[in-house]
Structure 1
Amino acid sequence: MASLEDIADNLHSTEEKLGIVSSNLRLVNVDQQPETTSGAFGEELSQLEVANNKLKYRISHLKKSIADENTKRALHMTNASGAERFGDYKCVAAMPLANTLKQSGEVLSPRDVAQKILNNLPSTPFVIEKCEVAGPGFINVYVKRSYISELVSDILVKGVRPPPVERKLRVIVDFSSPNVAKEMHVGHLRSTIIGETICRLLEFFGHDVLRLNHVGDWGTQFGMLIAHLQDQFPDYSTVSPPIGDLQKFYRESKKRFDNDENFKKRAYNCVVKLQGNDPEVHQAWKLICDVSRKEFLLIYDRLGVKNQERGESFYEPMMPGIVKDLRGKGLAVIEDGATVMHIPGKLVPLMLAKSDGAHTYDTSDMAALRHRIEEEKGDWLIYVVDAGQGLHFETVFEGGCMAGYVADGVRIDHVGFGVVLGEDKKKLKTRSGDTVRLKDLLDEGLERSLERLKEKGRDKVSYLLISDLKVVKLKPIYTAKLT
């Protein structure tokens, strides 16, 4: 298998050839007509560009694998002590180090290794009281009480301050992401709470954080809903039904879409009109989005969450360019009429365009990835989405690397969490069925808190306002979702 250095050398050689061919092609263009320059030079240039992108992807993939291996080796060898008589911290590094030395031919007992570590520790008289070898090779560390006292006093006087960071990063956090035309349900709570917490921590460290709410505000479901509203709500283009009615209309439209071929054709026609900016259909879509947005903001205000809406519709104009770019680089191909991008090691390719030309979530996520790096100048992208989407994001991220959208030094993380299940032990589906509304959950939590206060006779306290109780109620919600 080729080493990282071999691949890097190959990449350098390919880039040199690419430069030579590009220069020759420009010289030819000066003396010849455009149509005569699309021969050997143009073909060779295209082949070199594809090879170049593949090599860059392999280097990025190898670097990531090396970093992952280094992370695995960086074991947590020092932990808090379980008992005061064993000090404040316990280091267990001597045991695995003794095994490593044995494999290389040098035999030392764990206690001997621990003593050698002790002999080479730097002096820290202001922090460490003493260190000693104990048991089969543990190193017990005792911290000076005066040092701890000074730290606590400093926090009490100056407050909690963030540690210094090497450089301020532009961090983009994608979280919450409810679907338009529906009320937020309990399944949205985890992403919202975890994402908000990550944003607050990174802002506390001094990073520049962009909080993005990638709402579902585009696609076939709006064609279904609008087609159904044309039959059931004649004023659909001038006023939107309230969010509760919208959700009811959506369930009805989904049922018609699945069982009525004529209605399905009308729904698809509405999608085409929406994409073509038909005034009446586009206005209806905008009204639906506005009603949904107001409901989302009510929930976010109660939870103390701030974010910037950046839905699928924002990236829709960029999607044709993504497909064209990937096809031009030789990374996307036509299969059975659809445009797909195969990722090495992945069984399922990225579906960039269906046979009818419609774009998909894969296209939207690739467009978002590129925009967040190239336009938003993100140094670190964080996607807070349930673990069930892990493979999808892994495929999108690797596709972005192959396409050259992920610049060197850009970090991308998927923060996954357990899928929220319904009473039937199946994942809650936003776009079908009845779910527990998030608003109802928060209201019930507030009511139960009031009942507990009444049981303890504390509901008569004059200074405890309902507004205070709402803030207090948030604390267990955040704690429950972060533990």
Structure 2
Amino acid sequence: ARVQSENEIKLLTAEIERLKNFGCLGVSPSLEGLRDENAKLKYRLNFLQKSLQEERSKTAKSMININSCLQEIFGAAIQAAYPDLENPPLVVTPSQQPKFGDYQCNSAMGITQILLKTKEQKVSPREIAEKISKNIPANECIEKIEIAGPGFINIHLRKDFVSKQLSSLLMNGVQPPAVGKRKKVVVDFSSPNIAKEMHVGHLRSTIIGESMCRLFEFAVTKELNHYFIKAWELICDVSRKEFQKIYNCLDITLIERGESFYHEMMKDIVKEFEDKGFVQVDDGRKIVFVPGFPVPLTIMKSDGGYTYDTSDLAALKHRLCEEKADILIYVVDSGQSVHLQTVFAAGQMIGWYDPKVTRVAHAAFGVVLGEDKKKFKTRSGDTVRLIDLLEEGLKRAMDKLRDKERDKVLTAEELKAAQTSVAFGCIKYADLSHNRLNDYVFSFDKMLDDRGNTAAYLLYAFTRIRAIARLANIDEQMLRKAAREEVLILDHEKEWKLGKCILRFPEILQKILDDLLLHTLCDYLYELATTFTEFYDNCYCVEKDRQSGQIVKVNMWRLLLCEATATVMAKGFDILGIKPVQRM
């Protein structure tokens, strides 16, 4: 798009110069027309230049997705090497073994198979890898490439490129990767019944939905959040206040869209399906069969009343046709999968959206189990109230902090903040760190453990990282100055490993935007924390005299690596809805 704009600017500039040459002519209607055209061209030129400048500014601050950059480079190389090949495989992944490089391109094996099937050419993967390597275009990120084994292309990144990207991160903060046009997104999540209390069954939809909203808001657009109440709002006020207490605890932001919001639209939905010939009558019911789905949607009962099918169709149409959503995500349990897919297919059938243009997806999730691997219940067999669960989390978090004698070193205010951070952070993280498609076992003991992939471990790691500069008497202003002036040296293998890990953040976000699986972010944050620990154990950030304890030397570039790690972790926490504290 940028190249197209630049070419258009060149053409417009040339056209304006051409029109200027008519200045020697006398005033005539044709000259007036040319002047008008010239003015329009100048306006268009200024508009394009301004847009291009804004795009350049935005892109300059955006974090670079290194994997995407490498895919572009190797995509161009494959195209140059095999111009007649349609849709060749493009496989670039982080290297599993650092000694073989930083990334790896494994496209050669797939191309071998395609050449054999389509052109009956038998070419070894290694020969293909060599041909691809010879066609790699000039770029700023690759230091060298090596061909290994049957045809793996090992990619080594340039250290000055990684250092430059880390400096940009430190100066600009964590910026979303450049994803093109900003999109409008609607997320349907939480869905409590207004006539009942929120229970543990609402936990997953609420936590997963909020985190997805935060991710899309950061990376794609300004978000629209929804929850869809499954009953009439005749008795709303008391229930809404109780819901809000829970949403406040979990830091959830929503726009309310209850069933009655869509009621006036339902008669029009029925009429639209009737007018287009999709409605059949069965025992007085009005039903709609959708190709590929054996169970029809009931859009009107025999007594003239509407159903959940009708309200779900009305909500779908409103979000697509009125709110003009580009992306629509339903965070609803797996048990609703067939129903939702039927509703989505009905929306396509009647022409509300084209799946090639608009993304409509069901982010399904499993159920919460107790430690007995059965549905999570109280000892008496009742469903666990969500407010009771949160209060129990607060109690256990405080017990954990007191066991560690944190109450003796933290102020009352700091202790309270740490309690809230640990309690609610651990409950959220325990859910989000599991693949949402699977059921997961709820265990306070496991989630509050400060070892392993838990929020407790990550929150403690984060506070330790933040404390390093503070204990060296380095404040934020000094760090900002150093970020502008210092070159990040990445000579030690642990510095290099940490630097690359930090810069994988945009890759992780892009993967989640594609598959909506948030546990990938949790796995990444845990990997980042453990990689940082390796770095800190092997590389002195602050050197002290062993006898006096006085600071002898501050390795500022290493403190900047600490700061970059903490900055990315903080953004990761923000997307997960977890609030870290400075002291714990």
Q: TM-score range by the shorter chain?
A: 0.5 to 0.7
**Could you tell me which residue of structure 2 aligns to residue 115 of structure 1?**
130
Does the CA contact (< 8 Å) of 1:333 and 1:341 recur in 2?
yes
- 1:425 is displaced (CA, Å) by 6.0
For 1:295 and 1:76, the matched residues in 2 are separated by 51
- 1:420 is displaced (CA, Å) by 3.1
**Could you tell me which residue of structure 1 aligns to residue 298 of structure 2?**
351
Does the CA contact (< 8 Å) of 1:184 and 1:437 recur in 2?
yes
Does the CA contact (< 8 Å) of 2:89 and 2:111 recur in 1?
no
For 1:74 and 1:412, the matched residues in 2 are separated by 28
With over 3 angstroms needed to count, the CA separation of the structure-2 counterparts of 1:428 and 1:357, relative to structure 1, is: farther
Report whether the alignment pairs 1:312 with 2:259: yes
Describe the superposition over 1:258-291 as per-residue Cα deviations: whole angstroms up to 9, x where unpaired.
xxxxxxxxxxxxxxxxxxxxxxxxxxx63x2111
For 1:414 and 1:80, the matched residues in 2 are separated by 29
- 1:84 is displaced (CA, Å) by 2.0
**Could you tell me which residue of structure 2 aligns to residue 404 of structure 1?**
351
**Could you tell me which residue of structure 2 aligns to residue 79 of structure 1?**
93
**Could you tell me which residue of structure 2 aligns to residue 205 of structure 1?**
219
For 1:75 and 1:106, the matched residues in 2 are separated by 17
- 1:438 is displaced (CA, Å) by 1.3
Moved more, 142-151 or 76-85: 76-85
Question: Could you say what secondary structure the match of 2:143 adopts?
Answer: strand
Specify which of 399, 402, 408 is matched with residue 454 of structure 1. Answer: 402
Counterparts of 1:198-237 in structure 2, within 5 Å, are 198-205=212-219, 207-218=221-232
Describe the superposition over 1:129-157 as per-residue Cα deviations: whole angstroms up to 9, x where unpaired.
10110011111000011211121122122
Structure 2 gaps of 5+ residues are: 1-86, 434-584
For 2:160 and 2:417, the matched residues in 1 are separated by 42
- 1:423 is displaced (CA, Å) by 7.5
For 2:370 and 2:423, the matched residues in 1 are separated by 23
Task: Count residues with an aligned counterpart.
Answer: 340
**Could you tell me which residue of structure 1 aligns to residue 428 of structure 2?**
478
**Could you tell me which residue of structure 1 aligns to residue 276 of structure 2?**
329
For 1:196 and 1:334, the matched residues in 2 are separated by 40
Structure 1 gaps of 5+ residues are: 1-72, 219-284
Report whether the alignment pairs 1:127 with 2:74: no
For 2:284 and 2:219, the matched residues in 1 are separated by 49
For 1:457 and 1:202, the matched residues in 2 are separated by 39
With over 3 angstroms needed to count, the CA separation of the structure-2 counterparts of 1:474 and 1:155, relative to structure 1, is: farther
Describe the superposition over 1:284-308 as per-residue Cα deviations: whole angstroms up to 9, x where unpaired.
x63x211111111111111111001
- 1:172 is displaced (CA, Å) by 0.9
With over 3 angstroms needed to count, the CA separation of the structure-2 counterparts of 1:394 and 1:74, relative to structure 1, is: farther
- 1:468 is displaced (CA, Å) by 4.0
Report whether the alignment pairs 1:99 with 2:109: no
**Could you tell me which residue of structure 2 aligns to residue 188 of structure 1?**
202
For 1:398 and 1:306, the matched residues in 2 are separated by 29
Question: Could you say what secondary structure the match of 1:202 adopts?
Answer: helix
Describe the superposition over 1:76-133 as per-residue Cα deviations: whole angstroms up to 9, x where unpaired.
7222112221000122111122112111201011111111111111122x21110110
Report whether the alignment pairs 1:415 with 2:429: no
**Could you tell me which residue of structure 2 aligns to residue 435 of structure 1?**
383
- 1:352 is displaced (CA, Å) by 0.8
Does the CA contact (< 8 Å) of 2:89 and 2:110 recur in 1?
no
TM-score w.r.t. structure 2 length?
0.55
The code of the aligned residue for 1:114 comes to A
The code of the aligned residue for 1:123 comes to A
Does the CA contact (< 8 Å) of 1:174 and 1:195 recur in 2?
yes
With over 3 angstroms needed to count, the CA separation of the structure-2 counterparts of 1:75 and 1:190, relative to structure 1, is: farther
For 2:103 and 2:428, the matched residues in 1 are separated by 30
With over 3 angstroms needed to count, the CA separation of the structure-2 counterparts of 1:301 and 1:367, relative to structure 1, is: same
**Could you tell me which residue of structure 2 aligns to residue 172 of structure 1?**
186
Does the CA contact (< 8 Å) of 1:334 and 1:340 recur in 2?
yes
Percent identity at matched positions?
51
The code of the aligned residue for 1:307 comes to L
The code of the aligned residue for 2:367 comes to V
For 2:419 and 2:89, the matched residues in 1 are separated by 43
**Could you tell me which residue of structure 2 aligns to residue 89 of structure 1?**
103
With over 3 angstroms needed to count, the CA separation of the structure-2 counterparts of 1:427 and 1:345, relative to structure 1, is: farther
With over 3 angstroms needed to count, the CA separation of the structure-2 counterparts of 1:297 and 1:75, relative to structure 1, is: farther
**Could you tell me which residue of structure 1 aligns to residue 238 of structure 2?**
291
For 1:480 and 1:76, the matched residues in 2 are separated by 35
Report whether the alignment pairs 1:140 with 2:90: no
For 2:367 and 2:224, the matched residues in 1 are separated by 25
For 1:98 and 1:331, the matched residues in 2 are separated by 49
**Could you tell me which residue of structure 2 aligns to residue 263 of structure 1?**
none
For 2:353 and 2:266, the matched residues in 1 are separated by 17
Does the CA contact (< 8 Å) of 2:376 and 2:384 recur in 1?
no
Report whether the alignment pairs 1:364 with 2:311: yes
Does the CA contact (< 8 Å) of 2:312 and 2:343 recur in 1?
yes
For 2:421 and 2:229, the matched residues in 1 are separated by 26
With over 3 angstroms needed to count, the CA separation of the structure-2 counterparts of 1:428 and 1:404, relative to structure 1, is: farther
- 1:206 is displaced (CA, Å) by 5.1
For 1:93 and 1:206, the matched residues in 2 are separated by 29
Question: Could you say what secondary structure the match of 1:101 adopts?
Answer: helix
Question: Could you say what secondary structure the match of 2:191 adopts?
Answer: coil
Counterparts of 1:230-309 in structure 2, within 5 Å, are 286=234, 288-309=235-256
Describe the superposition over 1:421-466 as per-residue Cα deviations: whole angstroms up to 9, x where unpaired.
467866679xxx8311111211112211111112111122333231
